[in-house]
Amino acid sequence: MSHSRLRLRLLTLISILFIITTTTTDLVAASLRCRPDQTETLKRFKNEFSFSSSCSDDADFFRGVTCDNVTGAVTVLKLPGGCLRGTLRPNSSLFELSHLRYLNLSFNNFASSSLTSAFGQLKNLEILLLSSNGFIGQVPSSIRNHTKLTQLQLSHNKLTGDLTSLVQNLTKLSALDLSYNQFSGTIPSSLFTLPFLSYLDLSENHLTGSLEIPNFSSSKLQILMLSFLHLSHQIDLRIFSPLKSLSYLHLSGNSLTPTSVDSDIDFTKTLRILLLSGCNISDFPRFLKSLQNLEYLDLSDNRIKGNVPDWLWSLPRLTSLNLYNNSFTGFEGSLDRVLANSSVQVLDMAYNCFRGSFPDPPLFIINLSAWNNSFTGDIPLSTCNRTFLDVLDLSYNNFTGSIPPCIGNFNIVNLRKNKLEGNIPDEFYSGASTQTLDLGYNRLTGKLPRSLLNCTQLKFVSLDHNRINDTFPLWLKALPSLKVLTLRSNRFHGPISPPDDQGPLAFPKLQILEISHNRFTGSLPVNYFANWSATSLKTDDEERLYMGDYTSDRFGYEETLDLQYKGLYMEQGKVLTFYSAIDFSGNKLEGEIPESIGLLKALIALNLSNNSFTGHIPMSFGNVTELESLDLSGNKISGEIPQELGRLSYLAYIDVSNNRLTGQIPQGTQIIGQPKSSFEGNLGLCGLPLEETCFREKIPSTQEQEEEEEEEAILKWKAVAIGYGPGVLFGLAIAHVVALYKPEWFIKNYGQDRLRGIRCL
C-alpha cells in the first residue's frame, strides 16, 4: 500500500457507494405504520443487544424501520453505524420478520458471531448488507437460496470458505462485495457470466489459482476490484477484454504478466479508473496509450525506471496520476511543455529518482506532490500562474534560489529540506487560505513575515533549521487556528514571555511549541502555562482525529513534524489533535519552572533540557497524567524529585541528569526502569536505578567512614565524567523501542534519503 503523504480520492467512487447503498423507489414504502405484532418483534430484537449511548432510545432504533403501507409488515430495516453490540443468535427475533426485503446491519459489533443459517428464513430479501460486523466462519449454504438478492455485501469480516457454492443460484445479483475476508479457493468463472452483475469486489482475500474470464461473458461488469489476492498465477491483462462495460479495475497487489503490460493489447476502451499499485511492474505499460477515456491511473509502488513517456500527458481525460515510489529519473520531451498542456489535476510523483530542473506544472493542477526526489535549480515561477493549485509539496529535494513570492496563494506549502535562500516572502494577502507552511531545513534568513497574520486558517508552521534572526513571535497568538509552531535551530533571541512578564503565553489552540536551540533568554512567570486551553483539555480516544490535514473531494494531505521525543529526534506523520508537546531545550532560559505546568492535562512530551532553570521540580507535574517523555537534564535544578512523578503510569522516558538534585529517587515502576544515565550528575541523589543506597545497615567506624567517603568521591567524579556516554548508547538502543511504542512515528528522512540513494543508483 502506498505511504505517500498525498492521498488520492476518486469522485467516481460516489457511484460505487450509490450502487451498494441505495434502493429502488418501489422498495421503500412511505408509511412507518407497522402492525402491532411487527412492532413487538422489533422491540424484542432490540432488547437482545446492548446499545451505544448515541443510539440508545427507541426513536433512534425505529428511525431505520419502514413498513408496507398496505400490510403493515416490516420490509426495510436499516441499523448501521455501531448501535448493536452482542451476539446475533440463530433464534433471534430478527428472523421472524419474514417480509424483509432490505436489511442493513453494517458496522455493528456482533462479538465474533457466526453468520447463522437462520438468514435463510428471510426469503424475500433483495438487499443484504452485513459488512464490518465481526462475523466469523463459513457463509451458510442457505444464503444461496436467496434467489431474489440483487445486492450482497459481506465485506470486512472474517468469513471463510469457497466462493463457488456461495454464488450458486444468485443470478439476479447486481452488486457483490466479499472483500477483506478469508475466503479461499479459486475465483469461480461463473461470476463473470451473471447477467446483471455490475459491481464485484473480492479484494484482500486468500484466493488462489488463476483468474479466468470466459470469452463469451455476458456480464455487465462496470466495477471490478481484485486487489491483494494470493493468486498462484500472474494475471494476464488480456483476459479482461470481454468485459466491454468495464470502467473501474483495481488489481493492486497482484503480479501481472510482463508480456501483457508491455504490449499493445486490445484493452477495454471504456476504462476510466485503473489501479496497478504494487504489481511488480518494471517497464512503463504500453497498453495505456490506447485508453483514451482513462481519468485516474495509479502506478505507485512498482519498479518502473527511466523516463515518463511523453504520450502519457496527451491522454485527453487523465486528471489524476500517481507515480509514487518508483525509480523514474526524468521526462521525455521538452521540459517547458511536457506537462504544461496536460489535463492532469492531481499529480503524485514523490519518492522517485527524478533529477535536473523541475518542469512547468500542468495548467489546471490542483495538487502537486514531488517530495523526496533530486530536483535541482529554481522552483518554477510558473507555479504562481496555476490559479487552481491548492497543495505544493516539493520537499526533500535540492532546489536552490528563493521561495516563489506567491506561496500565500496555496493551502499547503511544503518546501522542507531543500537549499532555498533569502527571506520568506512577506506577501500573504488578506484572506489567504494557507493552512500549512513548512520551510524547515533550508538556508532562509531575515525575519518572520508579519503578513502571516492575514492567514487566519493557518494551523501548522514549521521553520526549523534555518538562519532566521528574529524575536519570539508573540504576535502569532492572534491566529485563531494555529496548532503547531516549530522554530528549532534558528537565531531567534530575547524573552519568550509577554512584555509585561506577568501574563500567560495563551495561544488559543497551540498544542505543539518547539523552539529549541535558539538564543531565547529570561524567565517564565508562574502562570506562564495557564490558559493554554488546547493542551489543558484531555480528549477521549474516540475524538483523536488528525489535525493539519488538508482534504478535498479528490485528495487528502498529511504533514510531518520533527520532534525530539524520548531522547531521539523523530519525524512524525499525522500529528494528532489530542497530542501536545513543548520543547524549550538548548536556550538560555532561567528562573523556576512554573507550577502552572500542571494545568497541561494533555501534555505528552516536555523538554526543558540544557537551559539554566533553578529552583525545585514542581510537584504539579503529578497532575500531567498523560506525560510520556520528560527531559530536565543540563540545568541547575535543586531539591528532591517529587514522589508524584513515580505515579505517572505513562512516563516511559525521564532524564534529570546533570542538575543539583538530592534525596531519594521516586521508586515507581516507570522510574526505576530508566537507565542510570538519566539520574547521574546529581551528587545528592540515591536509590534505584543508581547504585547509591539511601539507607545503611550499620554505622561504620571513623576509619571505614573516611575510606568509604573517599571511594564514593572517586566514583561520583567518574560518574560525572562518563555520564554522557551511557546516554548516547541508551538513545541508540531504544530507537527501535520508540518506533514500536509510537507506530505512526518513523525515523526522520536520513533513513529515507539513504534508501532513495540506493534505489536510484
Is 681 inside a domain boundary?
yes
pLDDT, tens only, 9-45: 444 443 444 444 444 333 333 335 899 999 999 999 9
pTM: 0.83
Is 641 inside a domain boundary?
yes
Give the domain range for residue 608: 443-542+576-696
pLDDT, tens only, 631-651: 999 999 999 999 988 888 899
Give the pLDDT score at 592: 96
Is 648 inside a domain boundary?
yes
Q: For the residues 721-728, what does the mean pLDDT come to? A: 34
Kindly give the pairing relationship between strand 151-153 and strand 175-177.
parallel
Q: For the residues 347-363, what does the mean pLDDT come to? A: 96
Is 522 inside a domain boundary?
yes
pLDDT, tens only, 405-438: 999 999 999 999 999 999 999 999 988 999 999 9
What CATH number has the domain bearing residue 492? Answer: 3.80.10.10
Q: Which amino acid is at 230?
A: H
Q: How many domains does the chain have?
A: 1
| CA–CA gap between residue 149 and residue 168 (Å, rounded) | 12
Is 511 inside a domain boundary?
yes
pLDDT band at 508 (very low <50, low <70, confident <90, very high): confident
Give the pLDDT score at 112: 82
Share of the chain above pLDDT 70, in %: 79
Q: For the residues 86-114, what does the mean pLDDT come to? A: 92
Q: For the residues 121-125, what does the mean pLDDT come to? A: 93
**Does residue 438 contact residue 462 with C-beta atoms inside 8 Å?**
yes
Is 58 inside a domain boundary?
no
pLDDT band at 713 (very low <50, low <70, confident <90, very high): very low
Is 131 inside a domain boundary?
no
b/e burial code for range 654-668 (CB count within 10 A of at least 16 → b): bbbbbbebeebbbeb
Is pLDDT above 80 for 173? yes
* 3-state DSSP assignment of residue 297: strand
Give the pLDDT score at 74: 96
Strands ordered across the beta sheet of 206-207 = 136-138, 158-162, 182-185, 206-207
Is pLDDT above 80 for 235? yes
CA–centroid distance for 219 within its chain: 38
pLDDT, tens only, 252-278: 999 999 988 887 776 767 899 999 999
Q: What is the DSSP letter of 724?
A: H
Mean pLDDT of the chain: 82
**Helix 724-733 / helix 702-722 crossing angle, nearest 10 deg:** 50
Cis amide bond preceding 689, omega within 30: yes
Is 407 inside a domain boundary?
no
